[in-house]
Structures are given as C-alpha cells and as structure tokens.
Amino acid sequence: MIVGGAQIGGIQKAEPRATVVARMMALMEQAHRQGVQFLVYPEMTLTTFFPRFYVEDRAEFDHWFETEMPNAATQPLFDLARRLGMGFTFGYCELTPEGQHFNTSIIVSPGGEILSTYRKTHLPGHADHDPARTHQHLEKRYFLAGDTGFNVVRNQGVIMGMAICNDRRWPETWRSLGLQGVELVTIGYNTPSQNNLSAEEGIERRVYHHELSVCAGAYQNSTYAVAVAKCGLEDGNHMFAGSIIVDPDGFVIARATGEGDELILAECDFDKCAFGKSTVFNFAAHRRIEHYGRITNQTGVRIEV
Amino acid sequence: MIVGGAQIGGIQKAEPRATVVARMMALMEQAHRQGVQFLVYPEMTLTTFFPRFYVEDRAEFDHWFETEMPNAATQPLFDLARRLGMGFTFGYCELTPEGQHFNTSIIVSPGGEILSTYRKTHLPGHADHDPARTHQHLEKRYFLAGDTGFNVVRNQGVIMGMAICNDRRWPETWRSLGLQGVELVTIGYNTPSQNNLSAEEGIERRVYHHELSVCAGAYQNSTYAVAVAKCGLEDGNHMFAGSIIVDPDGFVIARATGEGDELILAECDFDKCAFGKSTVFNFAAHRRIEHYGRITNQTGVRIEV
C-alpha cells in the first residue's frame, strides 16, 4: 500500500473551513494521482491552532469546534475520497451533543464510513493564562482529556491506530497500540518551534525530539508510523514542519522538505511488521508485566530514596 | 559530577577473572586521573559472553557465575575504588545460595558498599539450541528472568537506576525508573553485531537501534544515561561498541571511538533533569493511567480486529 501524509501550512484565524477543505482536496487529488491509497492529515486540520489564544469565557471559542462530522464544510472532502477510493484520517475539534470538547481524529474508510474516533489523551500545556510563557499553550483549558483510550481498527487490510501530537512523546501511547498488533500509527501535530518555557530550546532540538519519539515508538512496536504537521507561520506564530513516514525498523523513509502544503508518500509493506513483532519485540516471549506495576498504579513521580 | 563509562574489549573464553579485573582497574585509575567520580562497566564484565555457546547440561556453565560479591577475583577492584573514592557499577553472572542463576549488576558506593542489586528483567534470545540461527543467544537457557524489578538508589547525591542490555529497548524499563525520579540510568550491554535471525541486519542498523532506544529513554524520562559495551571480537564473534553518555534532552554527549578497552566521560549537571521532569514530562500533570491498562494487564499481542 502507498501511504501519504498531507502536510498543511499555516491556517490563519480569518481563514474559513471551506478554504482549508479546498487545500485538503487539492492534496488528496495529487495523492491519488501518485497512487496513494490512504492519506494522513494533521491534528486540528480545519482551523488555526487557537489554544495559543486566551479567552476568559471558553464558550467564545466554540466556533472552532465541529458539532457533527461530516458537516457542510467537510462533506466535499468525504465525497471526493469516496469517489477516489481513498481512505484517510484527519484531526478536528469536536463539541459533543453533551457539550464536551475534545481534540479528536477519525479514520475514514475508502467507502466514506468513519471507522474509528480517537480523542487526544495527553493534552500538553496549561489551563490558565500563564504570564511566564513566551506564548500560551492552553490545550488543558479548551479540551477535556480524551475518553476513548488507544484503539485500533482494520482498514484496507491494515491494523491502524491513531495518536495526536503530544501523544507521540509518550511510550504508553505506542505500547497500548502495539499490544493490539498495530501496523500503522497515524499522528497529526501542531508543534510550536520554540519551547514557550525555555528560550534556548529552538526548532532543531524540537524537531529532534519529535523524530526521536516517532522513530523509537515505531521501532519498539515494529510498526509503520506517519506523523504529519500543520506548520509554518500561523497568526504570527511559527510551528515546525518535519512530517515523516517511518518504517518498522525506526527509519525515516519519507520526509517533508518545506513548511507549506506538501504531500509525502511511501510504499509500505506491512508484512515487514512481522519480523520485529516475532523476534526482539515478541511481547509474549519477553515482556515481564509483573515488574511494570508502577506504570499503571502511579501517575506522578514518587521519590522514596 | 563527572561520570565515566569503561568500555571493555572482548574477553576470550580462556581469559581468567584476574586478567579482566586488572583491565578494569587500569580504566578506573585512568578515570580517577581525569576526575571521574562514578564509573560504569558493561554487562557481564568478568567473563566472555558465554550464552553464545550451547551445553546440554547447564551446570557445566556454573563456572561462569559468581557465588559471592566481592570475591577473591574482584576484591582488588573494590579496594582500589575505595582508595580512590570512586563509585561504580558493573555486571556479572550471579549464582545464588539457592541455586538460582541471574544476569546481575550492582551499584557500589565510594565507600565500597553494595547499595543496590539489579537482576536483568528482559532476557532476549531462546532457551534451546536453535539451528535456524547463525549463532546462538541462549540467555533464556542460562538465566532466570530477574526478580528485583526496577529500583533506584541514591548514590553520591544522585538518584541512580540500573538496566542491562536488552532492557534498554523496552520503554517499560525507563518509565519504571522515571516514575521514581531517576537522574542517571546505567546500562551495560553485550550486543552481537549481526542479528542472528536476519542476514540483512548488520552493525549499522543495530547501533542505530541501540542509540535510538537509549536517547528516547533518556529524553522521555528527562534523565542522564550511560550505556557501556563489552565489544569487539570475543571467541570469534563480533559485538558492537558504541558506548555513549546521553543527556536528559536525549543528546549523545560522549561516545566511544574504538572497539577495545576505552574510557568515555562527561560532566553531568543533574539539575538539568528538573526542566523536563517539571514541564513536558511532568508525569503528575500529563500521564493518564486510566488508559494504560493493557500495558500491565496483557503480556502479548491480542488482535481483535
């Protein structure tokens, strides 16, 4: 299967959903021409990364959220995908009928069916305005921590699982999917190029941490991974690009070269997942869960020495 | 604190413990001259990596094991360390009074006290002779899986934890130590340069996997790590070198250049662990243990889709 990543350049505050969906469709058309059968879009693909802005009354930001999917703005994308026989995944902000806000992604079959919904588990940042930061990162203000956990689905013959942005830094994410036999992990992200708490941590170090996390997660679970950025300048803030496709050996096999809308793709032979899963990472043979208790019994650090 | 890694070149079958200990002492003297205060030796430092050999009767290999520590062969090393005020850690094969065999490492204080004993959790390889392999890797034959779990100890003011060889590939190892506030993870290893089940997986790919695992583990737990090889040619088998010291940002800050006895060292500022532990990897703020259940409930892969 040829898998694609559709990196999306910055989306400004004023940009309507219809414009973004048109950009997504252009990338999907291009992907189809190049043989891509499954296409990965970023986290929060439809809007600017609004958690960089603070509002006292959270409800003022409900307009960044989708109350149904597909909806009028995204229906053309779903229609195009069905016409092309393209499976895809993308992220958006979800407002449920119960009034809950999540940072969400979905996997859609080539037939247009939503097969799986994932709500971001590891929300980074903070919940209140923090004057110590060079810029705000208020995901904990605008979203609830996801309630879905990490699940896989079989789509187009491949066992797929989703993660979103900061989830990729947490080996718990990868292992939860790995224990379900995942063969393709999809990750969308919006990652500022500057650590908002450290002047010295700039883009090079942050891209390294991104790649390190994705490559290690792929290797240690013997799975392909596609990590796709929304990136470049957005409302005057820079987010790094660095979209990559990684093989089950942890090697980058495709990488974006720019910071705008850009297609990356790679032929993925999912049979290659089997070697690692049956040898060095044969979990049944080698894992020792009797010694892993702290990982699920204990949330934070406990120093007892 | 200046931390050192004492890489050890191959030890041949016929080489007595005394010769090896003399090589260890020479590296310790050198380390002391260069200001090292804590020194890390490899896994199974005292002997050849005998799990590459098959014997029908396991008891024939008991001579590779130590029944007490320190013992006559290693007492000079302990004496030298106490004289120099050097803390250290090394690995050896342990045979307990109850007749149990473990792949073990210890942390020894500058005063000569054994502060912590760790028995390797993740034994790679297999238990019976396997003709499909280019060479044998019989750790599961000669050792029991460790019964200690992952623990930390405070030595010379630093929270230290041990892992051995294959443990470094398992994020469960790192997280178990990270949840105890670890600031320095020590890892000794003996890793063949060739995957014995894959002709195409040679030294470059294997060194990459080694570094990827150590760098990701250090970054994702905001800890220093020292990973030290026994390496080079041993009984006609090649093991890769690649000893490294890694900082809490996941960057290699010292690296061995050869495949023999060699000292590497780096100044480690353990205050640097605090930044990651209090921001992106603030476990108390960001971990969601309610979604990690599979990690401890389930050993092997379960495919349900």
Tell me the per-residue pLDDT of A144-183, one tens digit each, with 9 for 90 and over.
999 999 999 999 999 999 999 999 999 999 999 999 999 9
Query: Cα–Cα distance between B111 and A3 in angstroms, integer?
Result: 58
Residue keyed to tokens 């990196």: A7
Closest CA to A296 of B178, B122, B222, B291: B291
* Three-class secondary structure of residue A135 per DSSP: coil
Q: From its phi and psi, is residue B131 left (phi > 0), alpha (psi between -120 and 50) or beta? A: alpha
Query: Per residue in B78-90, is it b (16+ CB within 10 Å) or e — as a string?
Result: bebbeebebbbbb
What are the helix (H) ranges across A166-232? 171-178, 203-221
Closest CA to A231 of A5, A6, A10, A4: A10
Rg for chain A (alpha carbons), in Å? 19
Strands B2-9 and B38-40: parallel
Sign, Cα dihedral of A292, A298, A302, B1: positive
Residues whose CB is less than 8 angstroms from the CB of residue B262 and which lie 6 or more positions away in sequence, other chains included: B6, B7, B9, B241, B243, B256
Closest CA to B175 of B164, B185, B190, B166: B185
Q: Is the pLDDT of residue A241 over 90?
A: yes
Rg for chain B (alpha carbons), in Å? 19
- Complex ipTM, two decimals? 0.97
Query: Cα–Cα distance between A122 and A139 in angstroms, integer?
Result: 10
Rounded-to-10 torsion of CA B105, B106, B110, B113: -150
- Please tell me the predicted confidence (pLDDT) of residue B196: 84
Residue pair A201/A212 in contact (Cβ under 8 Å)? The answer is: no
CB contact under 8 A, A150 and B291: yes
Q: Which of A118, A152, A219, A295 to mutate: most B Cβ within 10 Å?
A: A295
φ/ψ (deg, to 5) at A284 = -60, -35
Measured between alpha carbons, how far is residue A41 from residues A162, A186, A188, A261 in Å? 12, 9, 6, 10
Q: Can you name the residues that pair with B159 across neighbouring β-strands?
A: B154
Query: Cα–Cα distance between A203 and B266 in angstroms, integer?
Result: 25
Q: Which of A133, A140, A154, A179 to mutate: most B Cβ within 10 Å?
A: A179
Query: How many CB atoms neighbour CB A112 within 10 A?
Result: 16
Q: Is the pLDDT of residue A99 over 90?
A: yes
Least CB–CB distance from A176: residue in B122, B123, B295: B295
Least CB–CB distance from A283: residue in B195, B286, B299: B299
- Please tell me the predicted confidence (pLDDT) of residue B200: 85
Determine the Cα angle at A150 with ends A148 and A156, to 5°: 110
| Tokens of residue A130, six digits | 């923090």
* Three-class secondary structure of residue B156 per DSSP: coil
Q: Is the pLDDT of residue A134 over 90?
A: no
- Please tell me the predicted confidence (pLDDT) of residue B84: 98
Query: Cα–Cα distance between B114 and B112 in angstroms, integer?
Result: 7
Contacts of A216 in chain B (CB under 8 A): 171, 212-213, 215-216
| Tokens of residue A190, six digits | 């919006």
- Please tell me the predicted confidence (pLDDT) of residue B198: 86
Query: Cα–Cα distance between B239 and B50 in angstroms, integer?
Result: 13
Question: Chain A: nearest CA to B211, how far in angstroms?
Answer: 10
Q: Largest Cα–Cα distance of chain A, in whole Å?
A: 62
Side chain identity at B80, as an amino acid letter?
L
Residue pair B187/B217 in contact (Cβ under 8 Å)? The answer is: no
CB contact under 8 A, B175 and A178: no
Closest CA to A243 of A163, A305, A186: A186
User: Tens digits of per-residue pLDDT, A201-230?
Assistant: 889 999 999 999 999 999 999 999 999 999
CB contact under 8 A, A284 and B299: yes
Contacts of B171 in chain A (CB under 8 A): 171-172, 174-175, 216, 220
| Tokens of residue B115, six digits | 């502060």
Side chain identity at B12, as an amino acid letter?
Q
* Three-class secondary structure of residue A266 per DSSP: strand
What are the helix (H) ranges across chain A? 17-33, 75-84, 139-142, 171-178, 203-221, 273-278, 283-286, 293-297
- Please tell me the predicted confidence (pLDDT) of residue A50: 97
Q: Which of the residues of A are catalytic?
A: 43, 120, 165
Query: Cα–Cα distance between A78 and B129 in angstroms, integer?
Result: 55
Residue keyed to tokens 């003011």: B157
Query: Cα–Cα distance between A86 and A74 in angstroms, integer?
Result: 15
| Tokens of residue A9, six digits | 């350049």
- Please tell me the predicted confidence (pLDDT) of residue A100: 98
Query: Cα–Cα distance between A245 and A214 in angstroms, integer?
Result: 9
CB contact under 8 A, A174 and B170: no
φ/ψ (deg, to 5) at A216 = -65, -45
Question: Chain A: nearest CA to B240, how far in angstroms?
Answer: 17
Residue pair B256/B244 in contact (Cβ under 8 Å)? The answer is: yes
| Tokens of residue A66, six digits | 């989708």
**Residues in chain B with pLDDT < 70?**
none
Closest CA to B89 of B25, B5, B33: B5
Rounded-to-10 torsion of CA B299, B300, B304, B305: 130
Question: Chain A: nearest CA to B151, how far in angstroms?
Answer: 10
CA-based nearest residue in chain A for residue B159: A305
Mean pLDDT across chain A? 97
Least CB–CB distance from B180: residue in A175, A250, A302: A302
Q: Which of B288, B289, B290 to mutate: most A Cβ within 10 Å?
A: B288
Instruction: Please report which confidence band the pLDDT of residue A6 belongs to, taking 50, 70 and 90 as the band edges.
Output: very high
Query: Cα–Cα distance between B148 and B203 in angstroms, integer?
Result: 32
- Please tell me the predicted confidence (pLDDT) of residue B138: 96
User: Tens digits of per-residue pLDDT, A53-97?
Assistant: 999 999 999 999 999 999 999 999 999 999 999 999 999 999 999
CB contact under 8 A, B124 and A159: no
* Three-class secondary structure of residue B231 per DSSP: strand
Rounded-to-10 torsion of CA A47, A52, A57, A59: 20
- Please tell me the predicted confidence (pLDDT) of residue B201: 86
Measured between alpha carbons, how far is residue B37 from residues B85, B183, B298 in Å? 7, 15, 41
Query: Cα–Cα distance between A268 and B247 in angstroms, integer?
Result: 34
Higher pLDDT, A276 or B134: A276
Residue-range domains of chain A with CATH: 2-297 (3.60.110.10)
